[in-house]
Amino acid sequence: MASSDVVLGHSTFDALRLGRSAQMIVGRLLRFWDSKNIKKQGEFMGITLLFLDEKNSVIHGFIPAGRAPFYRPSLRAGSVVRVSRFEVARCTNMYKITDHPFVIRFIPQTTIAEVIENAPVINVEKFMLRSFDPLQALANTNLELPDVVGQIQRVVVYLSLWDDAASMFRGLIGSGDRTQTVMVVTTVNPKLFGGNLYLNSTPATKFYFDNTLEAISEFTARLDGPVQEAFTCIDTKEGIRKKEVLSIGELNKFISNSNEQEAEFICKARVVDVLQQNGWSFVSCTGCSRKLDKDGSSLRCNRCVNPNITGVINHPYLRYRVELLVDDGQDNATFVVFDKEMLKLTKQDAAALTLNEINGGGGVELPQCLKDLGGQDFVFQIRVTPFNFTPNHRTFTVSAIVDTIVPETFKTNAAELVQVEGGEASATGSNMTGINMTGGEEKEPNPSNAGGKGGVRKRTRE
């Protein structure tokens, strides 16, 4: 990006015309981020940019993946730039990040240069802020990715952070002024789940604690009393990973209403039956524990075997894969339990169990110890993976089984919550933060939300 100290006649964002032409804009590059396609394993699509002009209008731009290496080295957030010879197109009706109806698309002829002198007076920041009621209306629609402002304290709106957003937030909390509890969080995806409002981070999510920003200073002025003092943030190498308690119906609802993201939940249910159509064990590779594939009359691990070497795995290993039909009194689902947890339940490995059944004349029927699981109640820890968001998903993977729900599992740190305008106070679960968006007095916790859900989770999202 070249620099320029001359500003020729340029269009304001509201005066832009559709199509390709010699139009030129001058604006502040507020921020930019990589956009990825989560349905194609996070495939890089391009760079999304936000511009602000002297009329306080915001428009977003897009640099396709093929042109990104050319522009990326010289993009600098906060700089005033001149962009010319681009295409103006209409925004889609989904995932809007500005109120402007148009988007600026970079084409091979597009140029961008930083304006050093004689630049128009442009504000430092502007946010697409939404309060509690509009956020609820937007939840589960995917129409907008709005910004929010609030104070970290006891609350009812859950801010779920993933991947880079989670790491960035932990870094800010760990190194910044911990008395600055009022913040702006940008470009979140609101979701309603289990009666609670969740604000899920996206790759575009940023955090602002600067109390000189108009959005923060105005919010702080509405607070009844001084800004709360220091808050804490639970941290691990993988982010905050507490588990949330869900019914089977809520688990299915999470899959239906959420974007593709990994999470873990706790679900109490009764085993109705042990399903047998797919068997209860499989032959695995001793190297990677994956299921072996048939190669003629032999078994082969296509992951571990060097493709330049022909051969088979000489020492396959029998492992559990048991499908349980479970019911929580209202809904049912199929939970799949693998080797580690089945070993705890049966007290013997799959190979030994098979041998005992054969020696005992049990034949190929379901072993008695597996039949005995029917009618028993367990607390299952369920791992939700990208597979569960595919149209063909039919099962949920069990990562752990316990006999009872440990109370400590659901204890929450009041400092991890975010109160949002109009919301009541409530406890959160895993990797979460809290915001008060009203600027008013904190409300009493809602008893019905005890052991509530939420967390700062980690997952790539566009």
Q: Are 132-240+412-449 and 244-281+317-409 equal in CATH topology?
A: yes
Digit-coded pLDDT (tens) for 9-61: 789 999 999 999 889 999 999 999 999 887 777 789 999 999 999 999 999 99
User: Cα–Cα distance between 419 and 430 in angstroms, integer?
Assistant: 16
User: Cα–Cα distance between 153 and 161 in angstroms, integer?
Assistant: 16
132-240+412-449 CATH fold: OB fold (Dihydrolipoamide Acetyltransferase, E2P) (2.40.50)
Confidence at residue 127, expressed as pLDDT on a 0 to 100 scale: 94
C-alpha pair distances (Å), 117 with each of 1, 7, 216: 16, 8, 29
**Exposure of 347 by Cβ count < 10 A (0-12 exposed, 13-18 middle, 19+ buried)?**
exposed
Nearest to 49 by CA among 73, 69, 36, 32: 32
User: Cα–Cα distance between 211 and 216 in angstroms, integer?
Assistant: 5
| Contact indicator for 143, 130 with CB cutoff of 8 Å | no
Confidence at residue 243, expressed as pLDDT on a 0 to 100 scale: 59
Nearest to 151 by CA among 240, 231, 241: 231
Mention every residue, 6+ apart, whose C-beta is less than 8 A from residue 17: 23, 88
Digit-coded pLDDT (tens) for 298-324: 666 666 654 433 334 444 568 888 999
Confidence at residue 277, expressed as pLDDT on a 0 to 100 scale: 85
Question: Helix H segments across 336-414?
Answer: 339-346, 350-359, 368-371
Q: What average pLDDT score do residues 361-381 get?
A: 82
CA 273 to chain centre: 33
Question: How does residue 103 score in pLDDT terms, banded at 50, 70 and 90?
Answer: very high
- Listed by start position, the domains of the chain span 2-115, 132-240+412-449, 244-281+317-409
Residue 49 half-sphere exposure toward CB, CA atoms < 13 A: 25
Instruction: Provide the 3-class DSSP secondary structure of residue 88.
Output: strand
Nearest to 238 by CA among 175, 306, 163: 163
**Exposure of 118 by Cβ count < 10 A (0-12 exposed, 13-18 middle, 19+ buried)?**
exposed
Mean pLDDT rounded to a whole number for the chain:
74
Which one is predicted more confidently, 453 or 129?
129
User: Cα–Cα distance between 416 and 429 in angstroms, integer?
Assistant: 9
Q: What average pLDDT score do residues 229-252 get?
A: 54
Domain at 244-281+317-409, CATH homologous superfamily: Nucleic acid-binding proteins (2.40.50.140)
The CA-CA-CA angle for residues 362, 365, 367, to 5°, reads: 70
The CA-CA-CA angle for residues 260, 266, 269, to 5°, reads: 115
Quick one: CA torsion of 402, 247, 334, 390, rounded to 10 degrees?
Answer: -120
pLDDT at 453 exceeding the cut of 70: no
pLDDT at 412 exceeding the cut of 90: no
For domain 2-115, give its CATH number from 3.40.30.10, 2.40.50.140, 1.10.10.60, 2.60.40.10.
2.40.50.140
pLDDT at 114 exceeding the cut of 70: yes
- Hey, which bits of 73-231 come out as E strands? 80-84, 87-90, 102-105, 111-115, 148-152, 157-160, 182-185, 189-193, 196-200, 207-208
User: Cα–Cα distance between 19 and 17 in angstroms, integer?
Assistant: 7
User: Cα–Cα distance between 133 and 137 in angstroms, integer?
Assistant: 6
The CA-CA-CA angle for residues 138, 140, 144, to 5°, reads: 45
Which one is predicted more confidently, 387 or 396?
396
Digit-coded pLDDT (tens) for 149-187: 887 664 456 777 766 777 777 666 666 555 567 888 999
Is the entire prediction scored with pTM above 0.85?
Answer: no
User: Cα–Cα distance between 383 and 380 in angstroms, integer?
Assistant: 10
Angle between helices 350-359 and 339-346 (to 10 degrees): 50
| Contact indicator for 334, 252 with CB cutoff of 8 Å | no
- Neighbouring CB atoms inside 10 A of 315's CB total 7
Question: How does residue 219 score in pLDDT terms, banded at 50, 70 and 90?
Answer: confident
C-alpha pair distances (Å), 33 with each of 47, 50, 319, 338, 417: 6, 9, 44, 39, 27
